[in-house]
């Protein structure tokens, strides 16, 4: 089975699958072709009469079928797929709009001037993606190989364009240097002049746009391995060895902006913890953060070969993650203080509510509505009290009346005797 890919610029893509019988007898052939990663059922415009299924091991859809071929017969199956391997113009326009909008949001702030350089840097990265895509607009195979790289880069640009931290971070030296990756190829024949195509895989994480000088090599991206490789054909004299210096952007560096961002977060958080009970823990974390970040900077300031440089980058990345984790732990201490303060405020509020509840309960007991029986008991009690008071009052009044009458009679008798 043989296949080829054809297509017009940004139109449907046709995959030619050839079933070939090179024998002198009739043959039954089983056809199976795994479609490029990312293709969905909806993207298959015409399966050319073949069936469609999903291969779990490959993580991709495939077309398959059985065909009977006559002696020396060749059949071509033209499977048509939507061209999904292009960055959409509207997506790019949205990303560019976000870059410009978020830069304008910095106006009248201290970050406006440094933001201009960040904006220009992001614009250049977008232009690089579009230029790389345009370079292979007539080469569908190359665009399929490179699309994931461009898509990932555009997503990273979008993420930074929308990040307030990115725009407000200190603008340290963001210029990325370059490193040389040396590849060698030798003619294995001691007697013959040979022409051979040689390919070399570049270190992991290197993307095609990271290659600054390819020394005449074609740059490709292996979507299966997720790795960039270079290919070139050369003529070699017997036993000749050729050496090539590939210039690559130095992507094995912790960004200065990231380091300064951790420092700034550390300073701000520590200042708020200075007078708290967590000061000892805070000082311990700050010391660890300071040592790790300084170790990274010291390591990255040294000149070294690329293998050592990449190896040190792995170690520096671990130090950076440790420092980042310590900064988060420092911020957790501040969160604990805030939570304790909130709990303290809540406790005071609850105590006040409880006091109000006690008052409310007292008022309820004092002024609660009596039951029917209780009401009559109260009324009866009041009547009895009134009756007793009335009797006492009447008795006192009666006694006073008797005393007064007796006194008047005595005075009358006294007058008669005179």
For every one of its 418 residues, what pLDDT tens digit does the chain have, with 9 covering 90 and above?
544 555 444 578 888 999 999 899 999 999 999 998 889 999 999 999 999 999 998 889 999 999 999 999 999 999 999 988 888 889 999 999 999 999 999 999 988 988 887 888 788 888 878 887 887 778 877 778 778 778 888 888 899 899 998 888 765 444 457 888 999 999 989 999 999 999 999 998 887 768 888 899 988 877 557 788 999 999 999 999 999 999 988 888 888 888 999 999 999 999 988 888 889 999 999 999 999 999 999 998 888 888 899 999 999 999 999 999 999 999 998 888 877 766 665 455 455 555 545 555 555 555 555 555 666 666 777 777 777 877 777 677 767 667 666 666 666 566 555 5
Other Cβ atoms closer than 10 A to 332: 14
Nearest to 385 by CA among 375, 397, 377: 377
pLDDT value at residue 418: 54
Give CA–CA dist 196/219, Å, rounded.
17
Half-sphere exposure of 270 (CA within 13 A, CB side): 18
Other Cβ atoms closer than 10 A to 58: 12
Tabulate helix, strand, coil % of the chain (nearest 5): 55, 20, 25
> Left (φ > 0), alpha (ψ -120 to 50) or beta: where does 331 sit?
alpha
pLDDT value at residue 297: 92
Contact (Cβ atoms closer than 8 angstroms) between residue 214 and residue 177 = no
CA 397 to chain CA centroid, Å, is 98
Two tokens at 59?
Answer: 């993580």
Which CATH architecture does the domain made up of 2-81 adopt?
Sandwich (2.60)
Q: Where are the domains of the chain?
A: 2-81, 85-175, 180-251, 256-345
Give CA–CA dist 245/305, Å, rounded.
13
Two tokens at 188?
Answer: 């294995």
Two tokens at 156?
Answer: 């990273």
Helix (H, G, I), strand (E, B), or coil: what is residue 239? coil
Give CA–CA dist 208/149, Å, rounded.
8
pLDDT value at residue 302: 87
290-310 exposure pattern, b = at least 16 Cβ within 10 A, e = fewer: eebbebbeebbeeeeebeebb
Nearest to 285 by CA among 270, 268, 274: 270
Write the CA distances from 352 to 346, 349, 357, integer angstroms. Answer: 10, 5, 8
How many angstroms separate the first and last alpha carbons of the chain? 167
Nearest to 316 by CA among 334, 341, 342, 295: 295
Nearest to 142 by CA among 134, 152, 154: 134
Contact (Cβ atoms closer than 8 angstroms) between residue 71 and residue 26 = yes
Give CA–CA dist 179/302, Å, rounded.
13
Nearest to 71 by CA among 31, 20, 32: 20
Relative orientation angle of helices 306-367 and 256-273, to the nearest 10 degrees: 30
pTM over the 0.85 mark: no
Contact (Cβ atoms closer than 8 angstroms) between residue 228 and residue 204 = no
pLDDT value at residue 174: 46
Contact (Cβ atoms closer than 8 angstroms) between residue 123 and residue 161 = no
Give CA–CA dist 19/355, Å, rounded.
89
Two tokens at 85?
Answer: 């391997």
Max Cα distance, the chain (Å): 185
Other Cβ atoms closer than 10 A to 149: 19
């Amino acid at each position: 089975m043989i296949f080829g890919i054809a297509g017009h610029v940004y139109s449907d893509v046709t995959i030619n699958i050839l079933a070939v019988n090179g024998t002198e007898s009739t043959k039954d052939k089983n056809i199976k072709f795994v479609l490029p990663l990312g293709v969905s059922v909806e993207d298959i415009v015409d399966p050319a009469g073949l069936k469609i299924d999903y291969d779990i091991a490959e993580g991709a859809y495939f077309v398959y079928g059985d065909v009977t071929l006559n002696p020396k017969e060749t059949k071509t199956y033209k499977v048509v797929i939507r061209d999904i391997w292009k960055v959409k113009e509207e997506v790019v326009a949205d990303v560019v709009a976000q870059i410009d909008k978020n830069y304008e949001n910095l106006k009248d702030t201290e970050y406006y001037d440094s933001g201009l350089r960040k904006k220009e840097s992001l614009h250049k990265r977008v232009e690089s993606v579009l230029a790389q895509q345009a370079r292979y607009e007539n080469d569908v195979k190359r665009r399929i190989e490179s699309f994931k790289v461009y898509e990932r880069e555009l997503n990273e640009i979008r993420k930074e364009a929308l990040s307030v931290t990115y725009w407000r971070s200190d603008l340290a030296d963001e210029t990325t240097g370059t490193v040389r990756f040396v590849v060698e190829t030798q003619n294995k024949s001691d007697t013959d002049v040979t022409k051979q195509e040689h390919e070399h895989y570049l270190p992991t994480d290197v993307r095609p746009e990271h290659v600054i000088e390819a020394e005449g090599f074609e740059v490709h991206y292996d979507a299966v391995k997720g790795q960039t490789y270079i290919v070139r054909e050369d003529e070699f004299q017997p036993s000749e060895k050729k050496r090539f210096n590939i210039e690559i952007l130095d992507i094995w560096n912790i960004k200065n902006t990231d380091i300064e961002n951790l420092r700034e977060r550390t300073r701000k958080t520590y200042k708020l913890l200075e007078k708290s009970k967590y000061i000892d823990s805070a000082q311990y974390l700050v010391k660890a953060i300071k040592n790790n970040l300084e170790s990274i900077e010291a390591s990255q300031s040294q000149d070294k070969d690329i293998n050592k440089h990449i190896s040190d980058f792995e170690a520096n990345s671990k130090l950076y993650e440790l420092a980042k984790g310590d900064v988060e732990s420092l911020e957790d201490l501040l969160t604990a203080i805030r939570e304790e303060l909130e709990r303290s405020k809540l406790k005071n509020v609850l105590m006040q509510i409880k006091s109000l509840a006690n008052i409310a309960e007292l008022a309820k007991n004092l002024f609660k509505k009596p039951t029917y029986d209780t009401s009559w008991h109260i009324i009866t009690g009041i009547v009895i009290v009134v009756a007793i008071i009335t009797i006492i009052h009447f008795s006192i009044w009666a006694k006073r009346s008797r005393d007064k009458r007796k006194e008047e009679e005595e005075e009358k008798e006294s007058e008669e005797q005179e």
